[in-house]
Structure 1
Amino acid sequence: AAMGVAETLLHTHDIAEGLGTTYEPDPALCEFVLTRIFPHVQPGPTPWQTLLWATGRGELPGRAPVTAWRWSNNLVIETDRLTLEGVTPAAATDLSTVGDGGFTWLEGGPVEGTRVGAGLVYKQYEDGVHRPEWGMFVLVRREDDRALGAMGFHGVPDGAGRVEVGYDLVEGARGHGYATEALRALSSWALGRDEVRTVVANVERGNTPSQRVLARAGFSQVAEDPEHLTYELGASGAR
């Protein structure tokens, strides 16, 4: 849908420009397109001008001219029982408040950790530092298309090739191996990238179930402090 809207807005602009006619669409449509298929573009205060700039059709103060552009569908990773669906800035905005992000959740979801993580995704987008593949994924059970939790990265890999992961599940989905299955898949995907050497997770000392998930997914404890335990998985340990 966002691609269709983009085509309509942009080519109407091109036609109007060729005819010497002024054209400016509803800013809400432009914002929809930007937050859905341009997640790597900082939004700015003027959605239409931002969309024109992002597609090489205009200029924005303080931003370099765009000579090549693309739109981006959200990344999807499949496991035996789950689909990990990348959360777009549009969905993150909804999830960070009281919405469902466009997903049908198991009872009790989304949980607070998912809403906090979604808020961080949108903040990164607003700051122009969001990279979709290093954001958050909603875990959707394939048998009934129900969302049961979220998992994702805290940001892009650092200079040493380390990337941190976090996750949570709706209470009714716990104890069925979903978190382990998703963590194995997401870690394997990350370690398959040239810029990643190690996937890291920090977990509270009292969170025994999460520690078991990490152990089952192949992570090893490498450090601790009074409140947290640190686990790591390197390329040689990926499954």
Structure 2
Amino acid sequence: MTALETERLRIVALTPEQFGMLLDAPERLGRSLGFVPGEPPDGHTLEAMRGLYAEARKRRDAFPWMASWQIILKAERAAVGSACFMAPPDECGVVEVGYGLYARFRGRGFMTEALGALARWALEQPHVREVAAETERDNAASRSVLERCGFELCREEAESLFWRLDLKSPRKQEGPFFL
């Protein structure tokens, strides 16, 4: 099992089998891994997760890039959200990250802590030069998380903003989970 630890969080990459269990029987997954699963995903998120799961099953050699990373609050042994990389690093060494936090856990810095750890882990992997992210233009909370983790805005489109973090990006903050 691939897992990352921060001061407050355990971030676990689910194997393809565990990922399937998350989609079909989250309570069973929680019991097997010792945590309380989070809220059911909304329709858009569920559709995206099912697509990632289908790809993860086809590309087992791409684990843990093609995985759902569960973000677990250690003190409560509860899932507070999840993250994923959309695919293994491409030929330029870029990997894209996506993430979401359950509503009742927002505003406490959990996603900043988790994304900081995931980005640091990704940039420590061979062949990774950059972590990319996309946010909806009106998602101020996600923009704030990316900025606190040192991501830089690199492109704007009508509905989306595109971000990047690489080994040369200046540090935005100091702390145990920032680059």
TM bucket normalised to smaller: 0.7 to 0.9
Higher RCO (Cα < 8 Å, 6 or more apart): 2
Shift of 1:188: 0.4
Q: Which runs of 4+ in 1 moved over 4 A?
A: none
Please state whether the residue corresponding to 1:122 is helix, strand or coil.
helix
Contact 1:140 1:148 in 2 (8 A): yes
Report the residue type matching 1:128 in the other structure: R
- Which residue of the partner structure matches residue 110 of structure 2? 178
Contact 1:86 1:133 in 2 (8 A): yes
Pick aligned residue for 2:41 from 95, 105, 111: 111
Residue 78 (structure 1) aligned with residue 9 (structure 2): no
Contact 1:110 1:149 in 2 (8 A): no
Please list, as runs of the form range in 1=range in 2, the aligned pairs for 1:41-190 lying within 5 A after superposition.
Answer: 74-97=1-24, 99-100=26-27, 102-103=29-30, 104-106=36-38, 109-112=39-42, 115-128=46-59, 131-134=62-65, 135-190=67-122
Please state whether the residue corresponding to 1:160 is helix, strand or coil.
coil
Please state whether the residue corresponding to 1:133 is helix, strand or coil.
coil
- Cα distance in 1 between the residues matched to 2:46 and 2:156: 27
- Cα distance in 2 between the residues matched to 1:129 and 1:212: 33
Shift of 1:131: 1.7
Shift of 1:133: 1.8
Residue 217 (structure 1) aligned with residue 149 (structure 2): yes
Please state whether the residue corresponding to 1:137 is helix, strand or coil.
strand
The 1:114/1:141 distance shift into structure 2, 3 A limit, reads farther
The 1:90/1:211 distance shift into structure 2, 3 A limit, reads same
- Per the normalisation by structure 1, the TM-score is 0.64
> C-alpha offsets along residues 20-59 of structure 1, whole Å, 9 cap, x if unaligned?
xxxxxxxxxxxxxxxxxxxxxxxxxxxxxxxxxxxxxxxx
Identical aligned residues as a percent:
32
Return 5+ residue gaps in structure 1 as ranges.
Answer: 1-73
- Which residue of the partner structure matches residue 204 of structure 1? 136
- Cα distance in 1 between the residues matched to 2:156 and 2:11: 29
Contact 1:114 1:150 in 2 (8 A): no
Please state whether the residue corresponding to 1:102 is helix, strand or coil.
helix
Q: Which has the larger radius of gyration?
A: 1
Shift of 1:94: 2.5
- Which residue of the partner structure matches residue 42 of structure 1? none
- Cα distance in 1 between the residues matched to 2:6 and 2:99: 16
Superposition RMSD in Å:
1.9
